[in-house]
Structure 1
Amino acid sequence: MTVSKSVDEGFSSLQAALDSIPQEYKEAVTIRIKPGIYEEKITVKQGTPPVLLLGEDTNSTIITWSDNAHTLGPDGEPLGTFKSGTLNVFAEHFTAENLTIRNASGPGTGQAVAAFVDAGYAVFRRVRLLGDQDTLYTGQGKQYYNECCIEGDVDYIFGAATALFERCRLHNKRSRGYITAASTPEGAPFGYVFLDCEITSGEGVSEVYLGRPWRPYAHVAFIRTVMDSSIIGEGWHNWGQPDREETSRYEEYGSSGPGANPEARAAWSRQLIPQEAAKYRVLAVLDGWHPEGY
């Protein structure tokens, strides 16, 4: 099916297209989204069959909304972080390609999620995720991000899922911010893994941390990442809870660029040796799941 700003072609609303899928339908569905700015809050419900949201062009196909944690819901109460998302995914299998997903709430408005991803298996290819605080929530399951751009300022990639980011760009919008806030469950072999990514920043942005542990067993690994000068030498922050230094696993291998400073990194983080870094492969991290099939 097709979603378009043209009145003569398909659905005018992406949510209407999703809602039109019969509840009993089990086959994979592709929804082609024509260029345009779609101002709507989207939910891909639990029980939806495997769905692909396929835009024509990342820069011209934009889904945008502006809820934040303080926005009042229908009951008159603040939505909170977990209901602020522009795109909310609860389906077991989900893919998005060639899109921009934006929370336009703006800086200083608090937590405002662009993509709330609580799926079993989720794939994002060539997707821009734009926001400020809490841009991307990775709730559960296995998630794969390829050639995506994710921007924000505070904890802008956060959650418990095993998520692999390959050849992505992370863009820091504010000084003294944090890229990741992982809440990896105890015993999970992998949390966030960044392979061959790039970290950039706005003009004058500095003292940005690679991450801080939202929960005690946070795991984040940056493998062969090019880091600009916005990254603070210490690299990692303990969120004011020194006991999490004992349980969190913060790792790097082959970092380069002005922000790569292994000698200055927090003593409780690790620089991997080649044999350890070699274990960070797509199939190993995602426990045998190959995202190319979705």
Structure 2
Amino acid sequence: MQQAGAGRRVVVAGDGSGDYAGIQEAVDGGGTVIAVRPGTYRGRVVIPADRPDVTIVGLGRRAGDVVIADDRANGTPNPAGGTWGTTGSASVTVDGAGFRAHNLTFANLFDEAAHPEITNRQAVAVLTRADRVAFTRVRFLGNQDTLYANSSAATTIARAYFRDCYVEGDVDFIFGRATAVFERCRIHSLDRESTPRGYVTAPSTDIANAHGFLFARCAFTSDAPAASVFLGRPWHPSQDPNAIGQTVIRDSRIDAHIGPAAWSDFGTWPWQDARFAEYRNYGRGALITPDRPQLTAAEAATQTVPAFLRGADNWSPDRHL
């Protein structure tokens, strides 16, 4: 059941000309469609599980005109004691099913160079744990762990759809156990002074879930040197042996920052035991080598956007958004 007052459109404006001045204030006030005027809105935002079907829409001409941001990292001190941790670092946390966002930017502004004393630098821009969440024309900005596509429990299916989005970061910047589809997105690896320069994905898909991360008709870009970035590595949270991560990249452009060996081990967990595969990619980094598993045509027919998204409820944001 939605809270009283839900089902209405509200306007957020930092100058006080709207119904609310802040994003969380609008969420708490019961707005279902939250229209945000251009500006930067600082502060943590949480969409709780008892607030389904919330939509946030940026009213600017471009996605960069509306920025929702915070600046905590895993190792940032928490006023309540200890540190925030990776989950707590999220600028925006989505627990309400059916959440949508359109034409805006989510960012974690944590400045690694300004805080050399903080070594745990995971800094999440958006954490999703709900089912049926969708983002269109949205930018996700950060460094390490930018986009945490997760679920409420290891064996719980949570689907997320990203279309015409931009995601940037350096280390494991798209990670988690959700079933997440990226269609027509730009996935940009930032350069950093380290070897390797970074890792794009770190899936932790449960072994019982046939669908992890799918990238279809995307562009993988970077300013990093050639062959200095990995497409992914398998994350096993708390050394969970059932976290057999899946990343499938198909029909996408891959630039030269990805080399002949595109996948990496994660600690003692070998990449060969994960579910990593490519299909019909192109570009200077779309190499076919013994270290770059390729789907067969028959396998590719089962690794499609509808196959990942539909489920028992026939969810089809790729057709209706």
Inter-CA distance 107–274: structure 2 relative to 1 (3 Å threshold): farther
2:126 and 2:147 in contact (8 A); partners too: yes
The corresponding residue for 2:275 is 249
User: What amino acid maps onto 2:13 in structure 1?
Assistant: S
Farther-moved stretch of structure 1 (5-14 vs 149-158): 5-14
Match 2:187 to one of 170, 182, 204:
170
CA distance in 2, matches of 1:170, 1:244: 21
Question: Which AA in structure 2 matches 1:138?
Answer: A
1:157 equivalenced with 2:174 (yes/no): yes
For 1:271 and 1:244, the matched residues in 2 are separated by: 14
Q: Distance in 2 between matches of 1:8 and 1:154?
A: 39
1:237 pairs with 2:246? no
The question of whether the paired residues in 2 share the 8 Å contact of 1:167 and 1:195 is answered with yes
Alignment deviations for residues 149-176 of structure 1 (CA, whole Å, 9 cap, x no partner): 0000000001000000000000000252
Structure 1 gap ranges (5+): 23-28
Per-residue CA distance 1:2-41 (angstroms, 9 max, x = gap):
001232222111110000118xxxxxx2110111111121
Instruction: Give CA-to-partner distance per residue, 1:64-111, whole Å, 9 cap, x none.
Output: 110001111121211110100111111122000001000010346510
Q: Confirm or deny: 8 A CA contact 1:107 1:133 kept in the other structure.
A: no
Aligned to 1:274: 297
- Does the alignment pair 1:207 with 2:233? no
CA deviations on 1:170-219 (whole Å, 9 max, x unpaired) are 00002521000000001211100000000111254751000000024111
Q: 1:129 aligns with which of 136, 140, 144?
A: 140
| Mapped partners of 2:267, 2:71: distance in 1 | 31
CA distance in 2, matches of 1:35, 1:2: 11
Q: Which amino acid aligns with 1:6?
A: D
* TM-score normalised over the length of structure 2: 0.84
RMSD over aligned Cα atoms: 1.7
In the alignment, is residue 262 of structure 1 matched against residue 288 of structure 2?
yes
Partner AA of 1:193 in structure 2: L
**Partner residue, 2:306:** 283
CA distance in 1, matches of 2:171, 2:199: 5
Which residue among 3, 15, 26 is the counterpart of 1:17? 26
Tell whether 2:25 aligns with 1:4. no
How far, CA to CA, are the matches of 2:270 and 2:144 in structure 1?
Answer: 25
Q: Match of 1:35?
A: 38
Following superposition of structure 1 onto structure 2, how do residues 48-59 of structure 1 map, counting pairs within 5 Å?
Answer: 48-56=51-59, 57-59=62-64
Is the Cα–Cα contact under 8 Å of residues 41 and 64 in structure 1 kept in the other structure? yes
- Residues 36-65 of structure 1: CA distance to partner in whole angstroms, max 9, x if unpaired? 111121111110031110012301111111
| Matches of 1:45 and 1:33, distance apart in 2 | 19
TM-score by length of 1: 0.92
Match of 1:45 in 2: 48
| Contact 2:202/2:235, CA 8 A, preserved across alignment | yes
Give the corresponding residue for 1:84.
Answer: 89
Counterpart check, 1:96 vs 2:101: yes
Separation (CA, whole Å) in 1 of partners of 2:269 and 2:102:
40
Q: For 1:7, what is the secondary structure of its paired residue?
A: coil
> Quick check: 1:60 aligned with 2:86?
no
The CA distance in 2 between the partners of 1:100 and 1:107, in whole Å, is: 20
Matched with 1:25 is none
Tell me by how many angstroms 1:261 deviates. 0.9
| Contact 1:211/1:237 (8 A) holds in 2 | yes
Structure 2 counterpart SS, 1:239: coil
The answer to whether the 8 A contact 1:42-1:87 is kept is yes
Aligned-partner Cα distance in 2 for 1:99–1:227: 25
Q: Which amino acid aligns with 1:237?
A: S
Aligned-residue identity in percent: 34
Q: What letter corresponds to residue 131 of structure 2 in structure 1? A: G
Once superposed, which parts of structure 1, at least 4 consecutive aligned residues long, lie more than 3 Å away?
A: 203-206
